[in-house]
Structure 1
Amino acid sequence: MTSPFLKVDAISLTLKNEPILKNVSFEAYPGEVVGIVGRNGSGKSMLFKCIAGLIIPQQGEIWVGNFAVVRERRFPPHLGALIEKPGFIGSLSAYENLKILASIQGKIGDAEILEALRIVGS
């Protein structure tokens, strides 16, 4: 059986004495599309911030691949995330913005950036 690439197990998050996430659990498998739906203020963005290790829940565990996000208390390697509003710098070109993002982990270079821009027609 295929292992999940994402596992959220019984996470709970309270901020300023306000419960945001209560015992949230789910798994996502390779090739699967998962939709997270809910009204404004229901905790969707906070869930994604927890998955990305930007906020650590008080209870539960999150695994991205074999990486234990809650235990490690940091952003999982090999994960990319745009949560809420993307922070592109308007005064820079698409290439320059992508170059800055690529420099964070240093895994792709100019050739890959240029190919991505070619694919999307920029």
Structure 2
Amino acid sequence: MVYNNPSCQYDQTNVDATPLLQSLDAWTSSVPPELSIVFWGLPAAPDAAPGGGYIPPNDLISKVLPHIEETCSTHSCGGFMLWDRFHDIESNYSNQVKHWDEQSACRFVTQVSKASLGSVSTT
């Protein structure tokens, strides 16, 4: 995903996914589906992307992921990752979106997060 780049990121001020979705469509239309595997990177908290682009979990589920699901029907979707595990622990982001993930063709990358959980201190 695009963040820290105002012209093509989610606009949290106006609760508008249009710039992000237009950027996604432009990017995926320029890459032949048979040559692409799309991985998505999301900031897990506003502090993880101080330049902007954080998408609140409810907005991600209702406004962005349905569009991405359509994209996954034509391009291989490799999965999602959150930046970064520290912010994910603090915000509980992955737990807020995991129910969508369980029903989707797209998957959040969790194995690295699980492996690194023991090495992250939340105190």
Q: TM-score category by the smaller chain?
A: under 0.3
Q: Which protein is richer in helix relative to its size?
A: 2
Q: Which protein is richer in strand relative to its size?
A: 1
Pick 1 or 2: higher relative contact order, CA cutoff 8 A, min separation 6.
2
The structure number with the bigger radius of gyration is: 1
TM-score normalised per structure 2: 0.28
